[in-house]
Amino acid sequence: MARRYPAPVDDSPLHRWAASGAMALTGLPDLPLGPPGGLVEGIDRLADPFPGLDALALLGERAALMGLWRRGTTSCGGSCRLLPAAQCWLAVSLPRAADMELVPAWLELEVAPVTAPETWSAVAHALMRRDPDELVARAALLGLPVARVGEATASPGVVRVRLGSGPARHPADCLVVDLSALWAGPLCGDLLAGAGATVVKVESTGRPDGARRGPRPFFDLLNGRKQSVALDFDNPEGRRGLRALLGRADVVLEASRPRALEQLGIGAADVVRADGPQVWVSITGYGRGGDAANRVAFGDDAAAAGGLVVWHEEAPMFCADAIADPLAGLAAAGACLEAMAAGGRWLLDVSMAGVCGGLVGPTLSVAPGLTVADPRARPPLASSPQLGADTERVLAGLDLDT
């Protein structure tokens, strides 16, 4: 049920934030907070290429389907925390059991914590005593998603690299091969499907999209308009199938660190230059360049790295649910449509933290009279196919000898 709090009754950014369900995910459990100034208008700009899309409501769809709520310095999903460190704040994500197991190595603990509360207590204690830059660097080496709040404020959101010439393309004439998982990349692929493209979702048989383990309606929202191909990337035949699909694609969408595909012998720029797809969309936490390309990031810590948080009594709090994911998905899809319309061959380097860094601002105060709506989700337009349901048919028309 909607809750009543002080605020305006007009169509101001603050009112729209509250009505969208995003304010229900922002602030303390008993104190909703306004968005950063300029964020609502920035999201409107990201949504310009998609008429009729309620982009603000997208921010709350996962929360609506998972029953999530605002939790202050703990993310809505519970796996990321904003913790004070020496002269700064750090966002620490521990979403996987493997992340919890790496904490003793990260903090160089002599005795490993046993329970999750003990682990978080050890993290909080260490952050107050250790150099935050050293902790972020050690986390990156271990593959832990840890970031200093605001460290990527000046990073570009989308870097467009032109790699050659080519005709302008309409989405309805394009095949999109979507190698991404979870939220940002799949949302981009769904938006391209909504623009008319044929989208084939490709997953590893050994490690399919982890979102399949979440609420089925949310997975359907992101993948219901796609065909499903499953390949064994550890098998030569599976790798041949992947290369053949990439060679046939007009657009490739992926959201992994560059080395993941390089280990399969696939380099994005090389594939595009070799008369492969005209547009390669790469979504990463911090961009493809330098050491940052190897950093792991999720939606909550990437948003914090970009400075996209709200503030209350000098403490940062999470702004909506894993907000870097839907914002990066919107930015990637819009940049892809722009590249297709312009013509040419493109590598689009989308940084989740960078996209968020371009949308920061002071936290808007909440004024009298506002209804804070609960988050909501659209009904899926279609059920997503079972894993690999279209593999045989899609591969039948490809040259697997390449």
In tens, the pLDDT along 198-240 reads 999 999 999 999 999 999 999 999 999 999 999 999 999 999 9
- How far is the CA of 316 from the CAs of 72, 125, 139, in angstroms? 8, 18, 21
CA gap 380, 190 in Å, rounded? 11
User: What is the distance of C-alpha 300 from the center of its chain?
Assistant: 9
Average pLDDT across the chain, whole number: 94
**368 confidence band (pLDDT: 50, 70, 90):** confident
Asked whether residue 351 carries a pLDDT value surpassing 90, the answer given is yes
What is Dmax (Cα atoms) for the chain?
67
156-168: average pLDDT: 96
**What is the CB-side half-sphere exposure of residue 162 using CA atoms within 13 A?**
9
Using alpha carbons, list the distances in angstroms from residue 194 to 51, 199, 222.
11, 10, 11
Tens digits of residue pLDDT in 184-193: 999 999 999 9
At 370 the pLDDT is 86
CA 110 – CA 123 distance, rounded (Å): 14
Distance of CA 353 to the CA centre of its chain: 9
| pLDDT at residue 8 tops 90 | no
Confirm if 17 and 34 have CB atoms less than 8 A apart: yes
Q: pLDDT at residue 371 above 50?
A: yes
pLDDT of 11 above 90 = no
Is the model's pLDDT at 296 over the cut of 70? yes
When pLDDT is averaged across residues 28-39 and rounded to a whole number, the result is 96
What's the whole-number mean pLDDT along residues 53-68? 97
Cα–Cα distance, 186 to 228 (Å, whole number): 12
- Please, is 256 exposed, middle or buried when counting C-beta atoms within 10 Å of its C-beta (0-12, 13-18, 19+)? middle
**DSSP code for 42:** H
**CA distances to 23, 64, 68, 126, 127 from 120, in Å:** 27, 27, 20, 10, 11
Between 16 and 402, whose confidence is greater? 16
Phi and psi (nearest 5°) for 64? -60, -40
* 112 conformational bin, left if phi > 0, alpha if psi -120 to 50, beta if neither: beta
Q: Provide the pLDDT confidence category of residue 4 given band limits of 50, 70 and 90.
A: very low
pLDDT at residue 3 is higher than 50? no
Would you state the pLDDT for residue 7?
42
Q: Alpha-carbon distance 155 to 287, whole Å?
A: 9
Quick one: what percent of the chain has pLDDT higher than 90? 94
pLDDT at 261 over 60: yes
Name 182's Cβ contacts closer than 8 Å, sequence gap at least 6.
Answer: 209, 210, 211, 255, 325
Nearest to 219 by CA among 257, 180, 247: 180
pLDDT for res 398: 80
Contact yes or no for 244/175 (Cβ under 8 A): no
pLDDT of 1 over the 60 cut: no
**Mean pLDDT across 264-284:** 93
Residue 63 confidence (pLDDT) above 50: yes
- H helices of 264-369, in order, are 268-273, 299-305, 324-342, 352-357
Whether 105 has a pLDDT exceeding 50, the answer reads: yes
Dist. CA 318–CA 330, nearest whole Å: 20
Contact 99, 139 (CB under 8 A): no
Instruction: For residue 149, give both structure tokens.
Output: 């709040």
Q: What are 273-276's contacts with CB under 8 Å, separation 24+?
A: 273/163, 273/164, 273/345, 276/246, 276/247, 276/249, 276/252
- What share of the chain in percent tops pLDDT 70? 97
- Which pLDDT score, from 0 to 100, does residue 6 have? 44
Supply the pLDDT for residue 5: 43
The residue among 397 and 342 whose pLDDT is bigger is 342
Q: What is the pLDDT of residue 369?
A: 74
What crossing angle do the helices spanning 116-129 and 97-107 adopt, rounded to 10°?
A: 40
